[in-house]
Amino acid sequence: MNLRRPDEMQRITNETLADKFIEEQVSLIKEQIGNQKVLLALSGGVDSSVVAALLSKAIGKQLYCVHVNTGLLRKGESEEVIDVFQNQMDANLIYIDATDRFLDKLKNVEDPETKRKIIGNEFIEVFAEEAGKLEGIKFLGQGTIWPDILESEKGIKAHHNSGGLPEDMEFELVEPVRILFKDEVRLVGRRLGLPESMVDRQPFPGPGLGVRCLGVIERKRLEAVRESDAILREEFKKAGLNKTVWQYFTVVPDFRTTGVKDGKRSFEWPVIIRAVNSVDAMTATVEEIPFDLMQKLVQRITTEVEGVNRVLYDFTPKPTGTIEWE
């Protein structure tokens, strides 16, 4: 279905317009799907979560969601997906803990592009394996949004209509938020009852924390990334910065620094904080974090995160730096 956003379409800026869109899409989904089954890769990101909620509202148990825990997700993400979609929405959720599988594949891999390819290919394999176990699946749900279409047409970013699945797996696409911008998707998600923590989720790279645990991924250092990121998100939310800063995260490099803990020499990792503002991700400016907040972050990260004795702040704009480190 090559649906395009009508030029005269009113921007969805309030609850009334969001409710109208939901009502229209529920009707269209029922018409398209009939009594068939739909498969959806549910990452827990904004777009796939809103699509899952919309499809669940329209066709209920005809939807099958597959959530793959790669071991590279942020703290609490898989748990929230299970709670919202399995426990609250009573959706068919297939949860796969593939942590060991992914981390074993990434063993001794240092190059970031190689890491990205391994993570992407392994995800496709895991998802395809699970899809092959299900019978009678005719449709593939996808969280395509309008900027994806525009970027694809302009040659900025490839848009994978098949969801990255092998060519011999043929599905008809269901893309209920295809004509929406990101802010509209978030508003629709709120009206569908998704929690704020899910609707307002930060942009997250496809390889996840795999490109924030710099160099060769070590399990203990990966946990340091996950725990420090959770502290940063918690403190930014308390300070109200989660609503104003475009993207923020932590990075743990593959080298150690000398420090002092409990009166003794320590030789542990530094944590690097990155917080930037951007409109199009082509350029980015650095957020000025209040000094008292930075002191609190240093205190919490160096005392609560195992293996860390130092906290740094990345002041580099884009250009010359990119938003992510890898």
The confidence band for 155, taking pLDDT boundaries of 50, 70 and 90, is low
Mean pLDDT of 127-138: 89
The candidate with the shortest Cα–Cα distance to 115, out of 184, 187, 190, 213, is: 213
Asked whether residue 282 carries a pLDDT value surpassing 90, the answer given is no
Question: Do residue 188 and residue 217 come from a single domain?
Answer: no
| Domain-terminating residue out of 142, 166, 199 | 199
The answer to whether residue 3 is domain-embedded is no
Kindly tell me the burial class for residue 298, based on how many C-beta atoms sit within 10 Å of its own C-beta (0-12, 13-18, 19 or more). Answer: middle
Per-residue confidence (pLDDT) for residue 160, from 0 to 100: 44
Name 252's bridge partners: 213
Instruction: Please say whether the dihedral angle defined by the alpha carbons of residues 253, 256, 262 and 263, taken in this order, is positive or negative.
Output: negative
* Percent above pLDDT 70 for the chain: 93
pLDDT tens, 207-218? 999 999 999 999
259-296 exposure pattern, b = at least 16 Cβ within 10 A, e = fewer: eeeeeeebebbbbbbbbbeeeeeeebebbebeeeeeee
Q: Are 271 and 308 in contact (CB under 8 A)?
A: yes
Tell me the Cα Rg of the chain: 21
Per-residue confidence (pLDDT) for residue 205, from 0 to 100: 82
The answer to whether residue 323 is domain-embedded is no
Question: Do residue 61 and residue 127 come from a single domain?
Answer: yes
Name 94's bridge partners: 66
Q: Which secondary-structure segment (H or E) carries 268?
A: strand 264-277
Q: What is the DSSP string of 160-171?
A: -TTTT--TT---
Question: Do residue 83 and residue 138 come from a single domain?
Answer: yes
Q: Which CATH number goes with the domain that contains 235?
A: 3.30.300.10
Task: Give the start-end residues of each E strand in 29-110.
Answer: 37-41, 63-69, 92-97
What pTM was estimated for this model as a whole? Answer: 0.83
Asked whether residue 161 carries a pLDDT value surpassing 50, the answer given is no
pLDDT tens, 70-124? 999 999 999 999 999 999 999 999 999 999 999 999 999 999 999 999 998 999 8
Question: Do residue 154 and residue 49 come from a single domain?
Answer: yes
Number of alpha helices (DSSP H) and beta strands (DSSP E) in the chain: 10, 10
Domain with 242, as residue range(s), is 212-313
Q: Which secondary-structure segment (H or E) carries 227?
A: helix 219-238
The answer to whether residue 146 is domain-embedded is yes
Question: Do residue 262 and residue 125 come from a single domain?
Answer: no
Question: Do residue 167 and residue 46 come from a single domain?
Answer: yes
Q: Are 119 and 127 in contact (CB under 8 A)?
A: no
Per-residue confidence (pLDDT) for residue 7, from 0 to 100: 85
Question: Do residue 225 and residue 164 come from a single domain?
Answer: no
The candidate with the shortest Cα–Cα distance to 280, out of 147, 138, 121, is: 147
The confidence band for 2, taking pLDDT boundaries of 50, 70 and 90, is low
Per-residue confidence (pLDDT) for residue 203, from 0 to 100: 77
Per-residue confidence (pLDDT) for residue 158, from 0 to 100: 45
Taking the mean position of all CA atoms in its chain, how far away is CA 19? Answer: 25
Question: Do residue 251 and residue 137 come from a single domain?
Answer: no
Question: Do residue 297 and residue 178 come from a single domain?
Answer: no
| Domain-terminating residue out of 139, 167, 199 | 199
Average pLDDT, the chain: 91
The answer to whether residue 321 is domain-embedded is no
Q: Based on the structure, what is the number of domains in the chain?
A: 2
Give the C-alpha separation, 237 to 90, whole Å: 29
| Domain-terminating residue out of 149, 177, 199 | 199
The torsion angles phi and psi of 277, rounded to 5 degrees, stand at: -120, 140
